[in-house]
Amino acid sequence: MNRKQYNNIIEHTLQSDCNECQSALETSRAILNNMGVSLPQGDMKHVYDVIRTNDYMGWRACTKEKAQDKANNGIAAIGISESNIIVLSAEDKEQPVTPTASVMTTSQGPLYTLSNLQFFAHDSKTTAYFRNGATIFRDGNCCKVALKGPNSFKVWHCVHRDLIYEAENAISSDFAKGKHNVFVDYNPLHETESDLDIRNYSDEELKLLYQLDPFGVAFYVNLRAECLYESVAEQVAYKDRIFNVLFGRAPRYFERSLSGAWYQVLNTGNNDYGRVLSEAELLFGRHALWDEYAQAKFRE
């Protein structure tokens, strides 16, 4: 990867994964994990002792200058001592990472900090992938996608399971991931009115995300429609628009006969939603029908 992609991983981690990090070691571990690079388990001294054996999981000792050169070429590089660790960011005038106590370039670091460190670089490739301007990371057995726009930075947690029609999935940890994709600052332990700020994604972002995580996008569209639109007609219109964005055509419309057989009908734009179902709803969640078939079943 190039230096911009390397810095993007660092920036994503600092913004999204380090809110509860309480030490330079925890911050460094989080950044390197997102690069697919391991640090030894244990406290600072133990990590240092293992790394400096020059034989741990691809880490190799090098000079300060070589470590910075590696970072500039998208290769994980660190400075470490018995009591401190930093991750070297890449030198990039267009997309620099704001230096912190845990992340800096060798030209940004105070001399008294850098002089006490030994430098190491990793000699294997990362497991972050890049597609259409997005950065895709491992996230346990799934993945997450960092989307960086001109004035925004969002992280999408891939779900990879149906959270609309498979009710048992609502008790899984993936349900919280799905809610995080919908709501800003979602906290599964403490939902308040402020949690109802809806995340917005561009059409191009949704097209990319649908290729990676169709179930997650379906859950997002369904829940966003329920939160923002009161009437069924408005909810269906929104789902129809997203369907058109994803598939390049308008969805078909269907009604159900008294026998329960479905047949295609014309979308008039003034539909009776007690009787009519949009093809988009098969993907993004459907509204309840009250047609002759439903009424007959109710009377049984």
265-275 pLDDT, tens digit per residue, is 999 888 999 99
Cβ-based neighbour number of residue 185 at 10 Å: 10
Identify the band that residue 278 occupies on the pLDDT scale cut at 50, 70 and 90. Answer: very high
pLDDT at res. 128: 59
- Numbers of helices and strands, H then E, in the chain: 11, 12
- Decide if pLDDT at 212 tops 80: yes
Amino acid at 177: K
Instruction: Among 2.170.8.10, 3.40.50.1220, 3.90.1720.10, 3.30.420.40, name the CATH number for the domain at 3-122.
Output: 3.90.1720.10
Q: What are the sequence ranges of the domains in the chain?
A: 3-122, 158-284
Could you tell me what percent of the chain has a pLDDT over 70? 90
Closest listed residue to residue 94, CA positions, set 191, 182, 211, 3: 3
d(CA 76, CA 53): 18
Of 114, 119, 161, 126, nearest to 12 by C-alpha is 126
Report which DSSP code applies to 167. Answer: G
pLDDT of residue 177: 85
Give Cα 101 to chain centroid, integer Å: 26
Reported as a single tens digit per residue, the pLDDT across 105-150 is 999 888 878 889 999 998 764 455 666 777 787 666 678 888 876 6
Percentage of the chain lying above the pLDDT 90 cut: 56
Q: Which residues pair with 263 in a beta bridge?
A: 255
Confidence of residue 190 (pLDDT cuts 50, 70, 90): low
Question: What's the burial of 165, exposed, middle or buried (CB within 10 Å: 0-12/13-18/19+)?
Answer: exposed
Closest Cα partner for 60 from 42, 76, 41, 83? 76
194, pLDDT greater than 70 = no
pTM over 0.75: no
User: CA 56 to CA 47: how far, in whole Å?
Assistant: 10
The first and second tokens of residue 185, run together, are 């600052």
